Chains A and B, each alone.
Chain A
């Protein structure tokens, strides 16, 4: 067989879609067909619902889907991180059991990593996994768990060995969320939304075959999941836009998107809504204020320079050049932009910035910006952690001397009262 080319891939997927696409299918019915054809995830291996194509062909396949409005496999949410992790580290049993229902969208997933006592220091997790008879028994608490209340399965990082240093005693499990030992409570944020959950385990059970890799390799597996999260290439939070086309399948897809994206509805406000600034400055008359103009200019400079820095990083990547420093700064810069945007929105709103909800400008959007921006510099790696990553990996500066990496975890000082009220 000849090597696939852009045009051969395009011709093949187009022919398949023309022969099979019908918007009157049910969502799962269509995706099942799609997964069987391998066109739902063409970069997956052939034996696991894909076609084994290099990942860069995905763009062509997506173009062909978009051209006729065909619906793809389920792509948003934590399920994509689960799929990526299982493909990298899972057993055939895991792949058999989980991949198909991830792609059809029938199963949703959550990530059980952060704990009240270990945020930035994620490898300091203290949720226990104890082997009792032929089960693993889980006790402890996780936090910041998006969509845990809906999830069928959880990716769990737990400590199975306390006598070795912290990175070496962790195990990684796939946990059935629908069992009596798992309790999920929403976690209300300072902006009033509850996009995340606290998850409590009281003698929750995991079958031994649901462990991914061996005890001691949990941190390595978690790193894979986190890498996929940071890369964001899996469309984790891509703002899926529901099609307004007519047909049964679109109706079902709209409902799925609404449900998956619900926790993320305030994320544009979290980033500061730079797009609203000039319009607001004109509407409020503050565009004439020289001090405010300076602050707007500072924001626009930062935001444009951030955008161009990202474009430089992408251009270097496309040319196959080694990643320069410009590729590691985006997360930290987005915090600066968001903070300056919140400052500017405050100046523009004046006394109205005292108000909330429907009394606040733009039906509450401005108020939501002001109380959502603080999340930007914390979520997904705090600014402090980002600076450590930049200084250690890009600038090759030495790590701080470590006090916990070489001693048994049971001897490491840690938070005593880790539970929140």
Chain B
């Protein structure tokens, strides 16, 4: 197992960081989060083309860059830090599901447009109850001739209201649990699909509810056999989000520290008070431990580690607690100004809160981790 990044990865990270600092200053984040789409197609396509972001993890045979999950995780971490408003995680998760569930022919047909950034995509697993596992799926898929038709409602779908392509998890009518599950692809403008943007606490992350009324869909891979692909896709989702969270947490930590050093009270910098220093030290511990777990899990994805299910949940639970705690401390260290809308801390605070819950909260992941713990 690698415990450090290669010089190439370090270089990639710093050029990415520079690009995001230039393209996604807080002012731009605020402008985009107030839009209906939550991003701007043209500027996102331009950035994506320049840096090849949605292509990274896709094999070269499907128009991708052929890099590893650890490289993809670097992008997520930097996006968490820069809070870029773009349909990146959604598109990446859709392509992951296609890679995990699709046939060779389907991968060749669907992935190049996602890799090139010509089309955006998303993954629709959760329904009204927000679960991310097989048991929560009630949306049904029925075959009529060569076509399949979907019936049901998906919710909490990342960028669901704007995605060009939607990868939907559905089941054979009457099936239960892991039995009868399949992934389908649906066009964003398919007849019978009603998309509604949900009002979100974190305005930088748009979510939608998608109602399927006899919507035509294409089956990915073999019918009824998507359980393993679902499990792997959700593990990837947990790991990628964990890496995004540690990027956000580090940004919160650094900003709070810079503020404390500058803020004068009682005739001295508040960073000279032990109570502030203790908090800052604890924040560093939280963030560094969460980074270690997130990096380890991303490397485990690349190495095909047998303990991946436990490691994915470990990383998500660790990052969820660390990121939220860091956000709480960051607001506190700012004092009154940290509670204002004008101060940027709340943007990352809300992302921390959103990421804490998305794809399962810390309690759920700790339980999953215990179920998979082998020692």
Contact = CB atoms under 8 A, between A and B. Distances in A.
Interface string A277-310: 0100000000100100110111011101110110
B289 A300 contact: no
Contacts of B271: 397-398
Interface residues of A, number: 43
B285 A301 contact: no
Nearest to B1: A311
Nearest to A387: B281
A358 interface: no
A401 B266 CA distance: 12
Contacts of A397: 257, 260-261, 271-272, 276-277, 280
Contacts of B269: 398
Chain A interface, >50% SS class: helix
A297 B317 contact: yes
Interface string A360-399: 0000000000000000000000001011101110110111
A329 B292 CA distance: 12
B293 A300 contact: no
Contacts of A394: 284
A3 interface: no
A274 to B, nearest CB: 10
Given A301-B314, A399-B272, A333 B281 contact: no
A400 to B, nearest CB: 6
A314 B1 CA distance: 13
A401 B268 contact: yes
Given A304-B314, A395-B257, A401-B268, A294 B366 contact: yes
B317 A301 contact: yes
A392 B293 contact: no
B373 A306 contact: no
A401 B3 contact: no
Contact of B277 (A296, A321, A391): A391
Interface string B275-318: 01110111011001111110110000000000000000010011
A319 interface: yes
A119 B260 CA distance: 29
B144 interface: no
Nearest to B257: A395
A278 B375 contact: yes
Contacts of B367: 290, 293-294, 297
Contact of B318 (A305, A314, A387): A305
B4 interface: yes
Interface centre among A311, A312, A325 (most CB of B within 10 A): A312
A208 B281 CA distance: 44
B73 to A, nearest CB: 14
B369 interface: yes
A390 B260 CA distance: 16
A394 to B, nearest CB: 7
12 contacts: A293-B367, A306-B292, A308-B296, A312-B4, A329-B284, A333-B285, A333-B289, A384-B278, A390-B284, A397-B261, A397-B280, A400-B272
Interface of A: 278, 287, 290, 293-294, 296-298, 300-302, 304-306, 308-309, 311-312, 314-316, 319, 321, 325-326, 329, 332-333, 336, 384, 386-388, 390-392, 394-395, 397-401
